[in-house]
Structure 1
Amino acid sequence: MSRALNRRTFLAASGGATFAAAAAVSPTAQAAPDVTLRAAAVDDPTEATIAEALTMLRAGTLSATELVQTHLDRIDRFDDTYQAFNTVTADSALAKAAEVDARGDVRRALSGIPLCIKDNYWTAGVRTTANSRIFADFVPDTDATAVSRLTAAGGIVLGKGQMGPLATTRATTPAGVVTTVNAWTPEDVTVDPGGSSTGPATSVAGRLATSSIGTQTGGSITEPSRQQNLTGLKPTMGRTSIHGIIPLSFTRDHSGPLARDAMDAAIVLSVLAGPDPLDPRTLGLPKVPDLVTAATPVYGTRGVELRRATRIGVPGDFFADLTPEVAAARQSFLDRVAAVPGVTLVDVTYPTDWELLTGAFNAIRLSERTEPFRHWLRQDLSLFGVSSLSWLQGLLLSGDEWITGQRAKTWLLQELFSGLFTQCDVVLQTSPVPFDILGLPEIAFPIGEAPAYDGGPLAPVGVILGGQPYEEDRLLQVAAAHQAVSDFHLRRPVDPAPVRLLSSAALQLDAATVARTAQ
Structure 2
Amino acid sequence: MSRFLNRRVFLASSAALASSGVSLGTAAAAPAAPAAGVPSIRVPDIDVRQAALDDPSEATLAEAAVLMRRGKLTSTGLTQAYLDRIERLDSTYQAYAEVTADAALQAARKADQADRGSGGGPLRGIPLCIKDNYFTRGVPTRCNSYIFADFVPEEDATAVARLKAAGGILLGKGQMGPLATTRATTPNGTVTTVNAWTPDDPSVDPGGSSTGPACAVAARLASSSIGTQTGGSIVLPSNQQNLTGLKPTMGRVSVHGVIPLSFTRDHSGPLARDALDAAIMLQVMAGPDANDPRTLGLPAVPDLIRAATPVVARGGAVRLRRATRIGVPADFLSAQKKVRGAFLDRLDAIPGVTLVDVVYPDDWTLLTGTFNAARLAERTEPFRYWLRNDPAKFGVSLLSWLQGLMLSGDEWITAQRAKNHLLREVLDSVLDTCDVVLQTGPVPFDILGLPELALPIGFDDAGVPVGAILGGQPYEEDRLLEVAAAHQAVTDWHTRRPADPTTGTRLRLAPAARPRVSAEEAAETSA
TM-score scaled by length of structure 1: 0.94
C-alpha distance 86-19 of structure 1, shift in aligned 2 (>3 A): closer
* Maintained 8 Å contact 1:206/1:493: yes
Q: Does 1:497 align with 2:505?
A: no
Matches within 5 A, 1:242-261: 242-261=255-274
Corresponding residue to 2:138 among 125, 150, 154: 125
One-letter identity of the residue aligned with 1:438: L
* Maintained 8 Å contact 2:91/2:506: no
Q: Does 1:268 align with 2:305?
A: no
One-letter identity of the residue aligned with 1:466: G
* Match of residue 328 from structure 2: 314
* Maintained 8 Å contact 2:26/2:382: no
Q: Does 1:472 align with 2:504?
A: no
Deviation at 1:9, TM superposition (A): 6.8
**Deviation digits for residues 121-165 of structure 1, max 9, x if unmatched?**
000001001000101100000000000000000000000000000
* Match of residue 10 from structure 1: 26
Corresponding residue to 1:506 among 475, 498, 513: 513
C-alpha distance 68-473 of structure 1, shift in aligned 2 (>3 A): same
* Match of residue 70 from structure 2: 59
Corresponding residue to 1:450 among 443, 460, 465: 460
* Match of residue 95 from structure 1: 106
* Match of residue 454 from structure 1: none
Q: Does 1:153 align with 2:166?
A: yes
CA distance in 1, matches of 2:430, 2:131: 34
Matches within 5 A, 1:239-388: 239-301=252-314, 303-320=317-334, 322=335, 326-388=336-398
* Match of residue 126 from structure 2: 113
One-letter identity of the residue aligned with 1:469: P
**Deviation digits for residues 262-310 of structure 1, max 9, x if unmatched?**
0000000000000011111000000000000000000113611111111
Corresponding residue to 1:82 among 93, 99, 116: 93
CA distance in 2, matches of 1:483, 1:259: 13
One-letter identity of the residue aligned with 1:51: A
CA distance in 2, matches of 1:10, 1:397: 20
* Match of residue 526 from structure 2: 518
Q: Does 1:393 align with 2:393?
A: no
CA distance in 2, matches of 1:184, 1:515: 26
Considering only aligned residues, what root-mean-square deviation do their CA atoms show, in Å? 1.8
* Maintained 8 Å contact 1:31/1:107: no
* Maintained 8 Å contact 2:174/2:213: yes
Corresponding residue to 2:414 among 392, 396, 404: 404
CA distance in 2, matches of 1:156, 1:38: 23
CA distance in 2, matches of 1:343, 1:135: 48
* Maintained 8 Å contact 2:399/2:523: no
One-letter identity of the residue aligned with 1:425: D
Q: Does 1:196 align with 2:204?
A: no
* Match of residue 433 from structure 1: 443
**Deviation digits for residues 305-363 of structure 1, max 9, x if unmatched?**
1111111111011112x2xxx21110000000100011000110111111111100001
Unaligned stretches of 5+ in structure 1?
452-456
CA distance in 2, matches of 1:186, 1:22: 38
* Match of residue 216 from structure 1: 229
C-alpha distance 245-72 of structure 1, shift in aligned 2 (>3 A): same
Q: Does 1:22 align with 2:37?
A: no
Deviation at 1:415, TM superposition (A): 1.1
Deviation at 1:501, TM superposition (A): 4.0
Q: Secondary structure at the match of 2:26?
A: helix
* Match of residue 416 from structure 1: 426
Q: Secondary structure at the match of 1:462?
A: strand
C-alpha distance 120-9 of structure 1, shift in aligned 2 (>3 A): closer
* Match of residue 170 from structure 1: 183
One-letter identity of the residue aligned with 1:10: T
**Deviation digits for residues 375-424 of structure 1, max 9, x if unmatched?**
11111221111121111010000000000000001101111122111121
Q: Secondary structure at the match of 1:10?
A: coil
One-letter identity of the residue aligned with 1:506: A
CA distance in 2, matches of 1:255, 1:204: 17
Q: Secondary structure at the match of 1:130?
A: coil
**Deviation digits for residues 102-133 of structure 1, max 9, x if unmatched?**
11346521011010000000000010010001
C-alpha distance 513-183 of structure 1, shift in aligned 2 (>3 A): farther
Unaligned stretches of 5+ in structure 2?
1-15
**Deviation digits for residues 213-269 of structure 1, max 9, x if unmatched?**
000000000000010000000000000000000000011000000000000000000
TM-score scaled by length of structure 2: 0.93
Q: Does 1:31 align with 2:42?
A: yes
One-letter identity of the residue aligned with 2:463: L
Q: Secondary structure at the match of 1:184?
A: coil
CA distance in 2, matches of 1:446, 1:399: 40
One-letter identity of the residue aligned with 1:88: V
* Aligned residue-pair number: 503
Q: Secondary structure at the match of 1:319?
A: helix
Q: Secondary structure at the match of 1:433?
A: coil
C-alpha distance 8-483 of structure 1, shift in aligned 2 (>3 A): closer
* Maintained 8 Å contact 1:122/1:143: yes
Q: Which runs of 4+ in 1 moved over 6 A?
A: none
CA distance in 1, matches of 2:451, 2:346: 23
Q: Secondary structure at the match of 2:125?
A: coil
Percent identity (aligned): 66
C-alpha distance 26-280 of structure 1, shift in aligned 2 (>3 A): farther
Corresponding residue to 1:183 among 167, 180, 196: 196
* Maintained 8 Å contact 2:400/2:522: no
Deviation at 1:498, TM superposition (A): 5.1
Deviation at 1:19, TM superposition (A): 3.7
* Maintained 8 Å contact 1:235/1:440: yes
One-letter identity of the residue aligned with 2:472: G
Q: Secondary structure at the match of 2:291?
A: coil
CA distance in 2, matches of 1:422, 1:489: 30
Deviation at 1:7, TM superposition (A): 4.1
* Maintained 8 Å contact 1:239/1:273: yes
* Maintained 8 Å contact 2:30/2:257: no
CA distance in 1, matches of 2:170, 2:31: 22
One-letter identity of the residue aligned with 2:107: K
CA distance in 2, matches of 1:469, 1:420: 13
C-alpha distance 238-498 of structure 1, shift in aligned 2 (>3 A): farther
C-alpha distance 328-82 of structure 1, shift in aligned 2 (>3 A): same
One-letter identity of the residue aligned with 1:256: G
**Deviation digits for residues 466-501 of structure 1, max 9, x if unmatched?**
001000000000000000000000000000135434
CA distance in 2, matches of 1:179, 1:510: 11
One-letter identity of the residue aligned with 1:189: P
**Deviation digits for residues 414-457 of structure 1, max 9, x if unmatched?**
11122111121111011102111100000000000013xxxxx4
